[in-house]
Structure 1
Amino acid sequence: MEAAIPLFASTSVRVLGDRLLVDGLVVDDECAVRLAREAEDPARVVRDAVEIGARVLDREGTAGQVDFVRGELEKVEAAFTEQARRVYEGLDTKFEQILGAENGHLARELQRHFSDQSSTAVHHRMKAVVEEVMVRSRDELRRQFAADDPSNPLAGFQRQSIAVMRQAFEQQSAHLRAMEERMAALQAELARERAEKQGAVELQAERERGTAKGRSFEEAVVEALEEIAAARGDVCDGVGDVRGAGGKKGDVVVAIDACAGPPRGRIVFEAKDSGLSRKKALSDLDAALEQRDADYAVFVVPAEDELPAKTRALHEYNGDKMFVTYDPEEGSKLALEVAYGLARARVLMARNDASGLDVAALRAEVERASMAMEDVRRIKSQLTSATSGIEQARSILEAMAAGVRGHLEQLDALLTPAVEDGTQGA
């Protein structure tokens, strides 16, 4: 910027409000003269020059103040930075001394007060204090609530409670004894009434059963078995109305060789004139074996169509049961005799004293008797359905029946040595 040239020698300058008044102004500046000469409005040029110069002067003064302030601020910043650095270094040192992970005062204090290895640790001391307080409290409570401690506030209540409980127990025991006696009496009365009712029911059932079948079939079976047993030296008893061990299953019991001494076996016969299921029939035979203490059981029905389903006449079941048909109206006891003979042979062969028997011959004779009886059944069936050749078939039937009886006699003959041995042993 060019050096300022004096604008006037003697000049009157006044400030009036927001205006500047200059009197007697003379400007010797070549640039200002040239600009005023070339301008169309010299006064405006002069005014602009003054205004622009004033702004330039103001800006120059402001820049100088800014530089001064900047310099002062830089000095202050440098001093503050140095002071902050020294403070930071001091704080870092102090923090390291206090909060250092290994050698800090705080770490050492925490280690001393909270470490498990420290005997003066806070939690150890608290634990010891709590344990001491708990022990003391337990002792005090034990002493306070001891039954023999006069300071026990519950002693009176405890004595009263014990007395009340003892009284209640005695009353309850007395009531229970009275109730037990009453229950025993009621049970005895109930058992007596139940027995009377059961007896009445069984009597009524027997009456109804006897009325329904007129006792003819059972009595006919008993009569036929008595004849068959007498011919072999056996004893036949009708036990349909006699209660056995647990019940009345079994209508006839045959004691083998009981006429000559102690029986060598027992056969039970169950007579039914109405059909039963196979399961029920076998169950009745099992019950009859148990209740009559028998070795073999025979189920007797009046006709083939009365046999339980899936069963055959003169066919053994479970080794100790058999089904057979016997029609008293027909008059023939052949099937019943075969069943009797087979059952008798099975019982005697199963005994330990049957060593004198020819078991092979017995089995062969049993098989032949069964086969012959099967022929009888077949011919009998043919007689039932055939309308011609009746007399011839009857003669054949009688011959076959004689053959069956011959097999039965042979069977009895084979059993005779065992009978004699048993008699001598007795």
Structure 2
Amino acid sequence: MEAATQLRQPRITTHGDRLLVDGLVVSDETAARFVREREEAGGDAGAAVTDAIEIGARVLDREQAGANADFVKTEFEKVSKEVEREFSDNAREVAEKLGERVDAVFDPERGHLAKSLEELFSDGSSKAVQNRVREVVSEAMQRSREDLLRQFSSADATNPLADFKTSAMGVIKEAAHRQHTDQRALFAQMSELEKQIQGLRDEKAKLEEVDAERERGTAKGRTYEEQVVEAIDVIASGQGDCCDAVGDIKGASGRTGDAVVSIEAASGPVRGRIVFEAKDRRLSAPGAREELARALSQRDADFAVLVVPGEDEVPAKMSPLREWGGDCLIVTYDPDEGSSLALEVGYRLARARVLLEKAGDGEVDSEAIRLQVDRALAQMTEVRKVKSQLTGAKTSIDNAYSIVEAIASRVRGHLAEIESLVVPGDAVDAGEAGDLAGPAGQPALGDF
């Protein structure tokens, strides 16, 4: 840019962000051409000049800032190099001095720290830390023991543990008394528990005895059933019938019934069936009826007979050899008596009833059969009366034997008194130690 020819001194002032130019002439070909082209294009020459000044000012400002930055950078690099050089020198000197100081302190042979550690932690040094700590701890423990001993042994009111010791003794005594009371209560409870346990044991033993008795009763019932079946089989063989033991064989819907007799099965077709149920215990009347009804149904029989050991096992309000319902009967059979007459009578009555029902009109004389049945039952009544009388006679004989034994005991007592009165005192003692038998030829006292 060429310098402008000044016609007169220009006047330039600034107000805030505004620039006032008065009398300024710019001699520049590029600026003149730019303004002229803008004006020829219909633009505002003043605006073009304003833009040129603003843009130029910005360019100059940026160039000036770049120049300042380069200058600052150059100066900073120069100063940095000087500082780095000086810092390196100082750091080398500091490192050398620091190394000397570190060697003086930490050198394992000449260092102050090694000497101090040797002095403070060596076992042979009196200033060693562990030795000093040991001494201090020993002194402190000794003082603590002495203070604690004084506190526990002194009953002075100034002793802070005196009240504590007194209260502690009271609490300990109270606790001991309470513990003693609790132990006595506990012992009482344990004694009660032992009694209860013993009671439970006794009850368990009784239950076991009951179970054993029940098992023995079951075994006895089983034996009785087998004996009844054997007796029925003997009777059936004499009548040409067949007896089958069915106690362990399931029938149509159950196992009720111990023996089934097939009438005339040994010589031809079966003409009827009789079921026998043996019980060694007493049933109620409804229970007996239900038992025989089940036996009839499950064994497909025509007649049912309940066999019991004796009169005491006959259900209440029922009698032996008395038929009810037209198809049920009760008989007694005791294998120990050795007589099966009642069982045979019941067997034949049941057999006759079945044959009577199976026979057609005119084949049998029912009236004659009933007459013979009544006669047989009457004779069985006489048999029961005689047996009752025999039982009473046996009871009287047993009672007589008991009376005789009692009299014999009293006689022996009188004889002993006679011996004591006749024989002197010393001889009595010898006689008591010896046999009470008399002289040869006399019966002994036990013979009475």
Same fold (TM over 0.5): no
- For normalisation by structure 1, the TM-score amounts to 0.41
- For normalisation by structure 2, the TM-score amounts to 0.39
